[in-house]
Chain A
Amino acid sequence: MSETKPAPKTVADGNTVHGVVAEFSDVDSLLAACERVRDAGYTKADAFTPFPVHGIDKALGIKPTVLPWIALTAGAIGTCTALTMQIWMNGIDYQYIISGKPYISLPAFIPVSFELTILFASFGTFFGMWALNGLPRFSNPMFTSPRFDRATDDTFFLYLDAKDKRFNEEGAKALLGDLGGAYIEPVVEDDSPKKIPSFLLIAIAVVIAFSMIPALVVARMRVTKSSSPRFHIFPDMDFSPAKDAQQISTLFADGRAMRPDVPGTVSRGGLDWDVDFQTGIDMEKLAQVDAPRARQLVAMMQSDTEVVEADGEVAGEEEAVKEVVEETTEEVQADEPSTDEPSADEPASEEPAAEEPEAEMTEEAEAPAEEEPAAEETESTEETPAEEEPAAEEPAEEEMTAEETPAEEPAAEGPSEEEPVAEAKTEEPEAEASKPEAPTALAPASGPTVDTTPWLTDNPLAIDAAVLQRGQQQFNIYCSVCHGMNGRGNGLVNQRAQRILATTWTPPSNLHDATLYQDVYPDGKLFGTISNGVRKMPGYAAQIRAKDRWAIVSYVRALQASQNASLEEVPASQREAIEKKQSEVKAELEKAAAEEAAKAQKTAT
């Protein structure tokens, strides 16, 4: 090797001297030299060895690295980032309940925090090491020495940097010579051209240009419109089969597309055992007045649960349900076992819809006049059978129309007396099954005589502006088409029906009728009517939530008050204006009357 040694470069070449390097043949002499250099006060020295040498950092006086602190800091930042990110995302910005846990649920955040801690600590360590070592660096003046290649093979180098305060070239050379270093030579700056080769520049430019293409495509797509179908990168989610409720599905064993509720569970927001709120009836009082009906109402509201219990799948569970239904369910099951299954299978609200038209049909088809005598007979005896005779399909109707059109009463009774003869042959079992329950949940069971149902007299909602607005909104959507926006019973449907002289049309009630005021028609009853319907009006329980039905009730009361309010009910702030207007009108009228009187007097004279 020594023969091929090139002439050492000198300062005379005009290149900057970066330091001085010397060769050592073994580890021990290198370590001894390192210690001497350290003791001589050099701080910017470095050793190059083919393999890691224990203790060389100590021999060179290299201070412990700050890298662990960087790693620790980066790791802590990772933890904080992960926690902040998750708490912000899931707990604050986009609250979303996952698996029934709280929005900010620390245990669920730990795995991500753990991973980010490690990721950040690793990056911190890796790039911190780069930064501390001045990397990335594509060249080092050391590489200009052809002998330096052997640092990866079998030779040890000690290097004194020119940046050290104690450095002077001659002194450094002398020191290394004293320490037994061979081939002591200055390290000079690489005199190869510093310019980046043009082919490399072109290659980089091309790569950058091509890398812009996806971004440009995306940017263009965002500002242009296209009528062609969307491009589906992941089609699976875009084309998942969407089924409607009653459709057939091959995916599930029972062949139904709609998934029934899991037995023994309550859907979110579905836990509502407040039967009063759901029916508008004071159940405690009803239980005193008419215990069987109260039981049936409660049982029907919880019919889902009954199915489960009847199937015997969930035993011992549902303690809460049992408590509520405690006295009711068991007795109902014991007394009338036949009512159990149908009531469970068929939603209560469907019953009137199915029964009512038929009733109306017969009502129209058969001359009501003919039956009048029969009806009157029944009317007298009605009081007792009305309660137990479940065939009172349209009891509410009778009650409502009693004053207006007494002729309808017998028609309503019609189906109960005549229909069974016709129907019994064809659908006897269903008729039997549905009959006992139809009146229970649906129609307020009142004969034409007295409504004994203990309706709730007050709206259970706390009435405020928001409730009224909600009620108005729902009223305008569902009610106004018939009852009119002002509630006078002249909605668009009614207008149309009058125009085409629809024969089957029963005009909707004028909500401002005195018979519908709260003192004679309590809130609970109004709620019941909205829920279950009356005469032509269908029940809206399936469409409007109970809370919104109560809101409608409150709005109807407001509507009624708007047409029938005394001055005392007007807020004080507006009262003055009204009084002012009133006095103006009064004055105007008086003036007009006086003028009229004067005129009359004039003409008289």
Chain B
Amino acid sequence: MSHHQAVAPKPADDPAFTMPALLSGMSLPLCIGGLIALVGGAFLGTTSLGGKFGMSAYLTAYMYAFTIALGSLFFVLIQHLARAGWSVVVRRVAELMMVMLLPLALMFLPIAFSVWNGSLYSWTDPGYQAEHGVPAAVWAEKIRWLNPQWFTFRALLYFGIWCATAWWYYSKSQRQDETGEVTLTESMQARSGPAVILFSFCTAFAAFDWVMSLAPMWFSTMFGVYIFTGSILSAHCAIALLSFVLQKQGAIRDEVTIEHYHDLGKLIFGFICFWGYIAFSQYMLIWYANIPEETHWFAGRYPGFSDTFGPIAIALMVLHWGLPFLGIMSRHVRRRPWAVAAWSLYILVMHFVDLYWAIMPEANLGAGGVVGVISSLLCVIGMVALMLGLVIVVGSGTRLIPVRDPRLGESLAFENI
């Protein structure tokens, strides 16, 4: 809105838009080291604590990277849907993370394979019904949805939709970097509505399939939203953090300003509350109704019931919601990029704790002792390093902001009131 400090975009080939050399050099070590850590972590868990623990640790790490990539896809879609001007300068960062859905589709293979060899999901165990005394009729209905063929098909469907969406938006945005066609923006906007609808369904059902079905007899219609809240929250944090790192390394310094961090901070603040709201709503309804078929999921994660995950539940309440809620509440914090980046890093850690708390109890081994914790951490660190390396690889081949986006000027001049 401000007229007196309009900023002209730099030329498209400005060095500020290329991946800083330090980061480019780190891509290969990150990829290789990450892969080693990931495989090592899963191997450590599998050999020392059993296949189910190893796969659970892998799934936790996978869901961590996956939710961030998925949240980035949603970020891009929602910016187009809302025709947002402010976010153009950080959209490319989100797009880079969004296209990680393609390698992540490959990384899903171990999980898809586990359905067939029965190493992760207990519904693949033929003895589950008898062991848990599930009525035959109920089990028959469960198995109609939860069976390896249909599960695999659904996963293919979800990834088909996500990858197609992500790739389409990424390639259009790339093309606009060269041509500057306004029509590309228009077509991206036009498709964002249906894309968001498809995205929502896929996300909810993927959450049901991949995480909720770890406890096959448990159900919560809110679970899809629960995973989504963590996804969109962590994506915003990752965008802020990655932008901050890129700026520290000398890229996009003049483009991403305090104003953008301020807005990202506001959204992070909002999604922290959203996470708390959804997580508590899911808990409270189950707690209030107090029906055994629903409460058993929380029983394994409840203070006084589980020595490992009970304290984590309390910690999530205080550290995933309470502390950052107060921490990012102030405008003064949100207008300091380093503070936003620091809180983003903190919430990204908490997001892992959240997923760990949701997934690991189903392995029935608690944290698995020191070896289990090391295994879980190796997996997630490896996964993050691998994805970060790939983001850098992809980012090195392109520009770090959409240089010819029709709204770039608006974004550069963006100011909060």
Contacts and interface: CB of A to CB of B under 8 A. Distances in A.
The answer on A and B forming one complex is yes
B417 A316 contact: no
Contacts of B2: 53-55
A54 B288 contact: no
A52 B280 contact: no
A54 B415 contact: yes
B288 A107 contact: yes
Interface string B324-359: 000001110000000000000000000000000000
Nearest to B287: A107
A226 B270 CA distance: 57
A322 B356 CA distance: 41
A52 B2 CA distance: 9
A110 B329 contact: no
Contacts of A72: 329
A52 B1 contact: yes
B334 to A, nearest CB: 12
Interface in B304-334: 329-331
B139 interface: no
Contacts of A108: 284, 288
B287 A31 contact: no
Nearest to A55: B2
Contact of A31 (B4, B283, B290, B417): B4
A53 B4 CA distance: 10
Interface string B208-252: 000000000000000000000000000000000000000000000
B287 A316 contact: no
Contact of B280 (A100, A101, A110): A110
A389 B1 CA distance: 103
Interface in A111-127: 111, 114
Contact of A111 (B1, B284, B290, B330): B284
B3 interface: yes
B133 interface: yes
Nearest to A29: B4
A109 to B, nearest CB: 10
Interface in B51-67: none
Interface string A29-51: 00100000000000000000001
Contacts of B288: 99, 101, 107-108
B390 to A, nearest CB: 39
A31 to B, nearest CB: 6
Nearest to B4: A28
A54 B284 contact: no
B258 to A, nearest CB: 13
Nearest to A32: B4
B417 A52 contact: yes
Interface string B245-288: 00000000000000000000000000000000100100110011
Interface size class of B (residues with CB under 8 A): 10 to 19
A99 B330 CA distance: 39
B206 to A, nearest CB: 29
B417 A54 contact: yes
Contacts, number: 36
A107 B280 CA distance: 9
Interface in A84-103: 99-101
Interface in A458-512: none
Interface string B399-417: 0000000000000000101
A55 B414 CA distance: 12
A558 interface: no
B283 A107 contact: yes
A54 B1 contact: yes
A27 interface: yes
Nearest to B3: A27
A68 interface: yes
A569 to B, nearest CB: 52
Contacts of B331: 68
B290 A99 contact: yes
B257 to A, nearest CB: 13
A316 B1 CA distance: 71
Contacts of A107: 280, 283-284, 287-288
Nearest to A72: B329
A310 B277 CA distance: 47
Given A72-B329, A107-B287, A27 B133 contact: no
Contacts of B277: 114
B3 A28 contact: yes
Interface string B1-20: 11110000000000000000
A390 to B, nearest CB: 41
Contact of A27 (B4, B283, B287, B330): B4
Nearest to A75: B329
A227 B331 CA distance: 65
A286 to B, nearest CB: 37
Interface in B118-133: 133
Nearest to B289: A99
A12 to B, nearest CB: 40
Given A52-B1, A55-B415, A100 B290 contact: yes
Contacts of A114: 277
Contacts of B3: 27-28
Nearest to A54: B2
A110 B4 contact: no
A210 B366 CA distance: 70
Contacts of A28: 3-4
A108 B289 CA distance: 11
Contacts of B330: 68
Nearest to A52: B417
Contacts of B415: 54-55
Interface string A60-96: 0000000010001000000000000000000000000
B294 to A, nearest CB: 14
Given A28-B4, A54-B415, A68-B330, A316 B284 contact: no
Contacts of A111: 284
Interface string A8-41: 0000000000000000000110010000000000
Nearest to A108: B288
Most buried by A among B2, B133, B331, B415: B2
A316 B133 contact: yes
A52 B3 CA distance: 11
A72 B331 CA distance: 13
A31 B415 CA distance: 16
B207 to A, nearest CB: 23
A69 to B, nearest CB: 10
Interface in B376-417: 415, 417
A51 B277 CA distance: 36
Contacts of A100: 290
Contacts of A68: 330-331
A111 B330 CA distance: 24
A111 B415 CA distance: 35
A114 B329 CA distance: 16
Contacts of B284: 107-108, 110-111
A54 B4 CA distance: 9
A27 B283 CA distance: 53
A112 to B, nearest CB: 12
B222 to A, nearest CB: 15
Contacts of A101: 288
A75 to B, nearest CB: 10
29 contacts: A27-B3, A27-B4, A28-B3, A28-B4, A31-B4, A51-B1, A52-B1, A52-B417, A53-B1, A53-B2, A54-B1, A54-B2, A54-B417, A55-B2, A55-B4, A55-B415, A68-B331, A72-B329, A99-B290, A100-B290, A101-B288, A107-B280, A107-B287, A107-B288, A108-B284, A108-B288, A110-B284, A111-B284, A114-B277
Given A54-B1, A114-B277, 20 more contacts: A27-B4, A28-B3, A31-B4, A51-B1, A52-B1, A53-B1, A54-B2, A54-B417, A55-B2, A55-B4, A55-B415, A68-B330, A68-B331, A72-B329, A99-B288, A99-B290, A101-B288, A107-B284, A107-B288, A111-B284
Q: Which 9 A-B pairs have the closest CB atoms?
A: A54-B2, A54-B415, A28-B4, A107-B284, A54-B1, A107-B287, A27-B3, A52-B417, A55-B2
